[in-house]
Structure 1
Amino acid sequence: MLAIIGAVVVATVFPARGSADEILDWIVKIGIGLLFFLYGTRLHPRDALTGLTHWRLHLTILAFTFVVFPLLGLALWPILPHLIGDELASGVLFLCLVPSTVQSSINFTSIARGNVAGAIVSASASNLLGVFLTPMLVLLLMNTSGDVSFSASSVITIVLQLLVPFIAGQLLQPLIGRRIAAHRSLTKFYDRAIIVLVVYAAFSEGVRQGIWGQVIWWQVVFLVVLATAMVALMLWLTGSGSKRLGFDRADSIAIQFCGTKKSLTTGLPMAAVLFDSHAVGLIVLPLMIFHQVQLMICTWLASRYSRQDFI
């Protein structure tokens, strides 16, 4: 948590610009690819196949992402414009419509000793479906000025950056799986380091857009409090709901960490397409704040689960 807060502060004061931003972008992409390669080497192919066919788990996570979250956004909509203005209120509704994160959802599931195979499949499916579902939900529930674009590049990026390295790791698992498992402390450190790097890259983007100059300080405080309440509510709903549905500990952890996340890296380019350029900064600010709050809370929760035998 201290590292995440430090990344936010450093990005605010010293954001990556120019060539440094391009280098950082490649480092993040390579780092995430290596992360999923390591996941592939650490999972037995039998466990990966079980995760792929666990349809109840995947449907539950998708329901929280694309049904429960949008309903929460709609419930907040009548009051938020009067409190923080139309654009920030639209941003809160928009964050409820974007897909789940991939890397951090799986990172936290791994740290908490949950169902990593199921989390990989569910988080990847959320992003793949989100390419189509999020713009459709935005058009249905919000006013937009942009044309909806179902870009094949989004699908290709997910496949090349996440699934291909994971499959490569699976193929090499019989050869190097035991060696990777013998260095668990290093892989755990790498899991956390990637989260911190993603936070820095995301906040650097926001600072370059001049996001902090467009809001009043109390609006930021309100959004932080609101994001904290939303994350806490969704963690409670996913945790209690998964138990009521009869999922075991590992599955419940995957549901919590995949069903409560919202992807900043997916939401930013979608917002740039769907909304007026002058409004994008304010519309994505709630998502930026929610993204950091969810990482901080889930970092604490995953560490807590890693030290427990039961939720």
Structure 2
Amino acid sequence: MAFLSLLYPDRFTLALVATAIAATVLPATGAAAPILKMVIVGSIALLFFLQGARLSRQAIIQGAIHWRLHVMVFAATFILFPVLGLLTKTYLQSYLAPGIALGILYLCLLPSTIQSSITFTSIAGGNVAAAVCSASASNVLGVFLTPLLMGLFMQTQGGVSVGAIGEIVLQILVPFVAGHLMQPWIGQWVEHRRTLTGIVDRGAILLVVYYAFGEAAINNLWAQLEPGDLLLLTLLSCGLLATVLVITTMASRLLGFSKPDEIALVFCGSKKSLGSGVPIASILFPASMIGAIILPLMLFHQIQLLVCAALARSYAERNV
């Protein structure tokens, strides 16, 4: 029954959908919009401060032991996925609603998740310690690489500005580094208050989703989307995930990885982080674009949970 529960949308996914609907019906307008934006800036800074405080330095040191595995996770996350995203944007942009193709590219440039990568690796009987190191390193690198890669791949008129990079540094990197520097003193306090930190993490994401989908409604994004657009987006998301799962599995076997390391590579290399993607998008893109940008990410987030839950069970049954 615990496994079957993974196949259904969790409460946070349902909260995301409810927030998107509420924002579409009742977006923040007038004086409320700038106030909401200021609250979002503060919540994002707090989110990454707590992430930095949770990251153990011992985990970073231990990560060097499995460097081949980490290189492969890095390659899947920041090379293979971006190439697939760029190909999708280049050749299928004309078939997608405005902004959606760019959202798929943005999805492909994001770092891996931490929690679900570790959870599925554990369920499947994989190398959990390596998964912790790889997923954590991916999130740290994503703070730098996602904005840089987005600026590299976007067209000149839509490129990431110097100001946006500065906002990334101030709102994400500085709080993250500050939190990590304080980890020896506050790390245990933060770790023992997962309920509080979970509220901060999810609250920040829900605020950004509300703001983004409100702006999308104001700019008539949904009038431009048809059922066929959502169907095509779903098929593309499934295709992206399937391609990466197949390639990472084949690569791990060709390189002679052990089964536990293969499992860690497959689950860490195939994930994309909603927790990092939504806040970074709120800084990189104009408010009118954020709804379309994060829509592929929200859809991919649920698909990766469903598919990887089934895959983790399959690995676990073979290991019995």
User: Aligned to 1:245, which of 228, 248, 251?
Assistant: 251
CA–CA separation in structure 2 for the residues paired with 1:32 and 1:294: 22
User: Aligned to 2:92, which of 76, 101, 119?
Assistant: 76
The answer as to whether partners of 1:41 and 1:172 remain within 8 angstroms in 2 is: yes
The answer for the alignment partner of 1:57 in structure 2 is 73
What runs of 5+ residues in structure 2 fail to find an aligned partner? 1-12, 122-130, 253-260
Change (3 A) 1:93 1:76: same
The residue identity in structure 2 corresponding to 1:254 is C
User: Aligned to 1:181, which of 168, 174, 191?
Assistant: 191
2:264 is the counterpart of 1:254: no
Q: How does 1:93-242 map to 2 (within 5 A)?
A: 93-98=101-106, 100=108, 105=113, 114-115=131-132, 116-135=135-154, 138=155, 146=157, 151-213=161-223, 215=224, 219-242=225-248
The residue identity in structure 2 corresponding to 1:25 is K
The answer as to whether partners of 1:37 and 1:168 remain within 8 angstroms in 2 is: yes
Change (3 A) 1:259 1:3: closer
The answer as to whether partners of 2:85 and 2:105 remain within 8 angstroms in 1 is: yes
Change (3 A) 1:70 1:61: same
> Which secondary structure state, in structure 1, belongs to the residue aligned with residue 28 of structure 2?
coil
CA–CA separation in structure 1 for the residues paired with 2:46 and 2:113: 16
Change (3 A) 1:104 1:237: closer
Change (3 A) 1:241 1:106: same
Cα-to-partner distance string for 1:66-117 (whole Å, 9 max, x where unaligned): 211122344535xx54xx7xxx3x6444334336576995675577685442
What runs of 5+ residues in structure 1 fail to find an aligned partner? 140-145, 273-279
User: Aligned to 1:8, which of 15, 20, 39?
Assistant: 20
CA–CA separation in structure 1 for the residues paired with 2:233 and 2:143: 24
The residue identity in structure 2 corresponding to 1:191 is D
CA shift, 1:57, in A, is: 2.7
CA–CA separation in structure 2 for the residues paired with 1:200 and 1:67: 30
CA shift, 1:160, in A, is: 1.6
> Which secondary structure state, in structure 1, belongs to the residue aligned with residue 105 of structure 2?
coil
CA shift, 1:286, in A, is: 5.2
The answer for the alignment partner of 1:18 in structure 2 is 30
The answer as to whether partners of 1:99 and 1:262 remain within 8 angstroms in 2 is: no
The answer as to whether partners of 1:107 and 1:191 remain within 8 angstroms in 2 is: no
Identify the range of structure 1 (202-211 vs 192-201) with the bigger mean alpha-carbon deviation: 192-201
The answer for the alignment partner of 2:39 in structure 1 is 27
The answer as to whether partners of 1:95 and 1:286 remain within 8 angstroms in 2 is: yes
The residue identity in structure 1 corresponding to 2:182 is L
The answer for the alignment partner of 2:82 in structure 1 is 66
Change (3 A) 1:153 1:271: closer
Using the size of structure 2 for normalisation, the TM-score is 0.70
CA shift, 1:8, in A, is: 1.0
CA shift, 1:193, in A, is: 2.9
CA shift, 1:236, in A, is: 2.2
The answer as to whether partners of 1:70 and 1:93 remain within 8 angstroms in 2 is: no
Aligned length: 282
RMSD (Å) for aligned C-alpha atoms? 4.0
The sequence identity of aligned pairs, in percent, is: 24
> Which secondary structure state, in structure 2, belongs to the residue aligned with residue 292 of structure 1?
helix
Change (3 A) 1:48 1:122: same
The answer as to whether partners of 1:104 and 1:195 remain within 8 angstroms in 2 is: no
CA shift, 1:15, in A, is: 0.5
CA shift, 1:291, in A, is: 3.5
The residue identity in structure 1 corresponding to 2:39 is I
CA shift, 1:36, in A, is: 1.3
The residue identity in structure 2 corresponding to 1:117 is S
Identify the range of structure 1 (30-39 vs 116-125) with the bigger mean alpha-carbon deviation: 116-125
Using the size of structure 1 for normalisation, the TM-score is 0.72
The answer as to whether partners of 2:85 and 2:108 remain within 8 angstroms in 1 is: no
> Which secondary structure state, in structure 2, belongs to the residue aligned with residue 245 of structure 1?
helix
